Structure 1
């Protein structure tokens, strides 16, 4: 590998910390698109169903097909990210967003709308595979959590904006405008990414050490930091090269990476199986079934979205202090309890004439503890625990697992509530929160404050366990 001395990086108008924050914020626009494009269907679906005369199964298809696209996009973008680099891949994804949004807004029938939302799903899945990895590969270890979770916060902003538009939708917007407005941030993402640095770890992996030094110098304070981090990256990359390890998807089967895959894919699955996205998509529907009017249901959905954003912001500022594992273990029991109570209130009609207030309170409590806990670590885990030789493929599998779980849950939510009632469905989701706590307690190590290279060394020497990290 080349060991060319550090060239002076182009002068930055911002200090390294501020520039890194800007990088995370611009890249995280993709998260805002994800939150908006998936959340807007909550308010737009009743209008779409009215225009196209859709039954509940057709409504499930329109809502869930974006998730099928996200699964495929997650896997397809692994090659794109590996060959073109993280930054260029994000730019290509933002262009795809724009195409999908325009097509959806102009759809003449439900078939075209479903296909357009599938294209949007491809972009959503691709962004969730690439963006957290891009931010993590540029961030300093002790700030990685709060920087990667800009992506989560942007998701919350997107969901909140979707809820606001949904509340105003029937009186101000048509559903076409509700969907089409997402074109603006997708173009901003495309323009913004064109001016951001490339991933130094991707450059080192492709034997472009000189370029990696220049890019890393833009977000570090001293030459010594750059030298040490580049040396660390080169050591890990050289070790993989010397070992002549497996490549492609076969590399995921190597025994030493298995603990990371089990932990990462498990967290990815439970991030969705605990019910957060299902709540966002179908809160108005559930509330109407519980006796709320259409307007009250949409306002309650707005409250849920605001809670999601607030707790994601709190999680962002605490994740590097409390730790990923500790935060999830502390919050999941309360999320589970709120769903068990909600199920009992709905199934046994326990609250009488104040039942609607109990329903809203339980939903808000669930959002507080689920979005402020396991949701904060879902994308972060996939960006930091997978070693460099398999990072592209593993991050794609992580994203696909997350979206696949979301697809299963969202695609069956209305059918499950018709079979078990809304109360019975809440008990199922509450049980999944309990299973998530058990899984994290026994499988997920703490990664707070550790560099990506240190995490890889722990995998190689067999110390990637909850006990060892404690």
Structure 2
């Protein structure tokens, strides 16, 4: 069904997306805040290169586990319930990390935060995708990505403000504020109509559809959801997803895109940019401030993507993004072949990082969470999205843990050129396998997938 012209219904849809996307804000803040804090944590706790990787990647271990279990929990208990619990875990993790007396407790706090980030990254886009009309789905699901980028920029700004007092504990602990906002917002939002139908509550699903579509007749959409639910019952379990030949190509697309989005190197910029910029001639505060600029480009290009995603489509945007990211990474590798690592060379490194992040935000960041929330059938959507999200965080973990060691062992040029080659491979993957889904209902996408497999 297309968007209602009822102003109240349009406001309701916008409110749903805005509140749920606070989970994206937390995702972005807790992902990005370590980049500024690490400059001071490294000194206070005397971290080795390996231990730096552990501090950063402990969050990603938790996120991998959280993503793995969140999909099935969201299918069984509802998307809303999982997000309410997630908000509480965010708050606990922020307190542990902010009060950590040593590196071990800090790793524990980051792990707990990961247990929240995993479900947030999987379930927030899923919740929004199931709550909004097809013709606004790309932009509204991408509001989650916008909030992720805003969360990252806020974390950079907070890092800059607390840098003069080396206040990394404040940087980490302030994440409790959006956690409370998420809990308060989700407490008053409804469950998604598709999940309600799946769990046997069609009357409640109809009420939610009316709140989304206003005075429009929702009987046809409710019947379409019920029919899709009946078709998908045989694939209810995650094991069913793996056994169904019609679903395997989409699993490859979802998991492949999730993995490529990480091993292309984006989080070497998100997590380690201040450290990289320090070696390129920026001071400590200067490198954090420069990263704020990179973060603002991330936000700006995400807004551009939101405006274009339902016009240009998912496929051309993600292909162009990976190609641009590869060129940017190749250029960044050249920086470390130059004789001087200061002055104009440092600015060139910053431009390369900004170009890379701009391309990522325009395509990969914008498309990933939209696409994996669209391509799977209702009965296993949570489980399948959880699989793709788990793969995302597992790949993120590997990159975060190995990046400091790669820089130390192979050198910066070789490391960034490896990422450039990965971007080239990702471009080919998208050209060959990624489908177009713009403008179609979730049920239409599911039906088209089944027909293609016959």
TM-score range relative to shorter protein: over 0.9
Q: Which residue of 1 aligns with 2:319?
A: 329
Contact 2:232–2:377 under 8 Å retained in 1 = no
- Alpha-carbon distance in structure 1 between the residues aligned to 2:10 and 2:342: 54
- Alpha-carbon distance in structure 2 between the residues aligned to 1:331 and 1:463: 29
Q: Which residue of 2 aligns with 1:131?
A: 124
Q: Which residue of 2 aligns with 1:284?
A: 274
With the length of structure 1 as denominator, give the TM-score of the two structures. 0.92
Displacement of 1:236 after TM fit?
1.1
Which of 417, 420, 427 is matched with 1:430 structurally?
Answer: 420
Which of 432, 441, 462 is matched with 2:431 structurally?
Answer: 441
- Alpha-carbon distance in structure 2 between the residues aligned to 1:354 and 1:390: 52
- Alpha-carbon distance in structure 1 between the residues aligned to 2:208 and 2:106: 41
Q: Which residue of 2 aligns with 1:6?
A: none
Give the total of aligned pairs: 449
Of stretches 262-271 and 49-58 in structure 1, the one that deviates more from structure 2 is 49-58
- Alpha-carbon distance in structure 1 between the residues aligned to 2:188 and 2:168: 34
Q: Which residue of 1 aligns with 2:395?
A: 405
Contact 2:281–2:342 under 8 Å retained in 1 = no
Q: Which residue of 2 aligns with 1:106?
A: 99
- Alpha-carbon distance in structure 1 between the residues aligned to 2:209 and 2:184: 21
Query: How far does the alpha carbon of each residue in 1:281-324 deviate from its partner, in whole angstroms, 9 at most, with x for none?
Result: 00011112223221221122111111111111111111111100
Contact 2:264–2:422 under 8 Å retained in 1 = yes
Displacement of 1:159 after TM fit?
0.4
Q: Which residue of 2 aligns with 1:162?
A: 155
Which of 248, 254, 278 is matched with 1:258 structurally?
Answer: 248
Q: Which residue of 2 aligns with 1:341?
A: 331
For residue 158 of structure 2, give the secondary structure of its aligned residue in structure 1. helix
- Alpha-carbon distance in structure 2 between the residues aligned to 1:448 and 1:164: 35
Displacement of 1:350 after TM fit?
8.6
Q: Which residue of 2 aligns with 1:307?
A: 297
Confirm or deny that 1:233 pairs with 2:225: yes
Displacement of 1:389 after TM fit?
2.1
Alignment of 1:12-411 (within 5 A): 15-172=8-165, 174-224=167-217, 226-241=218-233, 244-245=234-235, 247-349=237-339, 354-411=344-401
Structure 2 unaligned runs (5+)? 1-5
Query: How far does the alpha carbon of each residue in 1:351-391 deviate from its partner, in whole angstroms, 9 at most, with x for none?
Result: 98521121111111111112211111111111111111211
- Alpha-carbon distance in structure 1 between the residues aligned to 2:338 and 2:243: 48
- Provide closer, same or farther for how the CA distance between residues 22 and 349 of structure 1 changes in structure 2, counting only shifts above 3 A: farther
Displacement of 1:198 after TM fit?
1.0
For residue 410 of structure 2, give the secondary structure of its aligned residue in structure 1. helix
With the length of structure 2 as denominator, give the TM-score of the two structures. 0.95
- Alpha-carbon distance in structure 1 between the residues aligned to 2:237 and 2:325: 40
- Provide closer, same or farther for how the CA distance between residues 236 and 172 of structure 1 changes in structure 2, counting only shifts above 3 A: same
The alignment's C-alpha RMSD in Å is 1.7
Displacement of 1:38 after TM fit?
1.2
- Alpha-carbon distance in structure 2 between the residues aligned to 1:158 and 1:444: 28
For residue 89 of structure 2, give the secondary structure of its aligned residue in structure 1. helix
Contact 2:245–2:453 under 8 Å retained in 1 = no
- Alpha-carbon distance in structure 2 between the residues aligned to 1:454 and 1:363: 39
